[in-house]
Structure 1
Amino acid sequence: MILSDRDIKKAMDEGRITIDPLFPDSIQPASVDLHLGADFLIFRTDEHTAIDPKEPLDDMMDEVTISDHKQFVIHPGQFALGMIYEITGVADDMVGRLEGKSSIGRMGLIIHATAGYLDPGNKLKMTLELHNVSNLPIKLYYKMPIAQM
């Protein structure tokens, strides 16, 4: 079941949905806007010729951190892991569904490949699986609206 804004606010008041911090005007008619965090992981393509699912990915990736004064540029075809700025949580009998904002999709940025669910009872910063499918680089800014739950 998808909740209306009224039901989202009620569930938040009851502690069944957590969004921390909650930005002003984030609650939409049937979702809550979520924002881009500061930390990214990108593959070191100059050192590796393939991804081996039997090996840890951490050894193949570099960390990148942005701030209010430094954007992250994701290039055409590039893949990066990012984080949602907010801590999100749902009750044991609920599931959160992460979706990209339509304005982000129109730029050619996909925000998740497979991990679009916040499991029941979880409370965490959700991971973004960012992929630029456009022909141009896309600039991403710290705390910009990027997703909806």
Structure 2
Amino acid sequence: MAILSDKDIREYLEEGKIKIEPILDEKQIQPSSIDMRLGDEFKVFKVIRKPFIDPKDEEDVSSYMESTTVEEGEAFIIHPNEFALATTLEYVKVPDNLVARVEGRSSMGRLGVTMHVTAGFIDPGFEGKITLEISNIGAMPVALYPGQRVCQIVFETMTSPSEIPYGHPSRNSKYMGQTSPESSRIKRDYELKK
């Protein structure tokens, strides 16, 4: 596997092999990645009085989170030890012969803010806005602004195209086509076992 360079990224974009909308600003294309911008929708955990989250209960999982939209020019404040879901401003379509990874930008990491906790891998065939799992592991609250470059996406070639890519009807592609932050859909994992 090989990581696409800035030259390759531009060619893939021009040829429509990788689709990213809205159209990128040239400064977003880095030597081996594309900087992605923060959307304006966030999901945060509510303070509730239950002993645990039950991953087998989809209503239970989604009931723990509430959505908020940040108005233009305003900031979302993430406090120390807080976790939030958001999405990229950009809608991405990954071809069947590439995989992608979301990585944090060092400028954000130096503020104590991580952009993906565990889900940085994007399967071939994925299409949608990328969910960001944002945590503040620092000591101070940090302002996050919609449109701000907060993470980067890296594309890697595969040895061959995927035979059954993400989104294929035979797959349980839980987040295909997402356009807003989505709570965990882990309950679907249990439904597959039936």
**Do they superpose with TM above 0.5?**
yes
Cross-structure match for 1:4: 5
Cross-structure match for 1:68: 72
The structure that is strand-richer by fraction is: 1
The size of the alignment, in residue pairs, is 149
* The 10-residue stretch of structure 1 (17-26 or 135-144) with the greater mean CA deviation from structure 2: 17-26
Gap regions ≥5 residues in structure 1: none
Offset of 1:19 from its aligned partner?
1.4
Offset of 1:121 from its aligned partner?
1.4
Cross-structure match for 1:95: 99
Q: How do residues 1-149 of structure 1 correspond to structure 2 at under 5 angstroms?
A: 1-21=2-22, 22-56=24-58, 57-149=61-153
Aligned-pair identity in percent equals 42
Offset of 1:47 from its aligned partner?
4.1
Gap regions ≥5 residues in structure 2: 154-194
Residues 48 and 60 of structure 1 are in contact (CA less than 8 Å); yes or no, is this contact kept in structure 2? no
Residues 89 and 118 of structure 1 are in contact (CA less than 8 Å); yes or no, is this contact kept in structure 2? no
Offset of 1:46 from its aligned partner?
3.8
Taking a change above 3 Å as real, the CA distance of residues 80 and 48 of structure 1, as seen in their structure-2 partners, is: farther
Offset of 1:115 from its aligned partner?
1.1
Which 4+ residue blocks in structure 1 deviate beyond 6 angstroms? Answer: none
Offset of 1:50 from its aligned partner?
2.8
Distance 1:4 1:142 in 2: 27
Offset of 1:138 from its aligned partner?
0.8
**Aligned residues: CA RMSD:** 1.2
Secondary structure of the corresponding residue to residue 85 of structure 1 = strand
TM-score using structure 1 length: 0.94
* The 10-residue stretch of structure 1 (128-137 or 114-123) with the greater mean CA deviation from structure 2: 114-123
- Quick one: which amino acid aligns to residue 28 of structure 1? Q
- Quick one: which amino acid aligns to residue 41 of structure 2? D
Residues 42 and 86 of structure 2 are in contact (CA less than 8 Å); yes or no, is this contact kept in structure 1? yes
Task: Decide which structure has the larger Cα Rg and report it.
Answer: 2
Secondary structure of the corresponding residue to residue 87 of structure 1 = strand
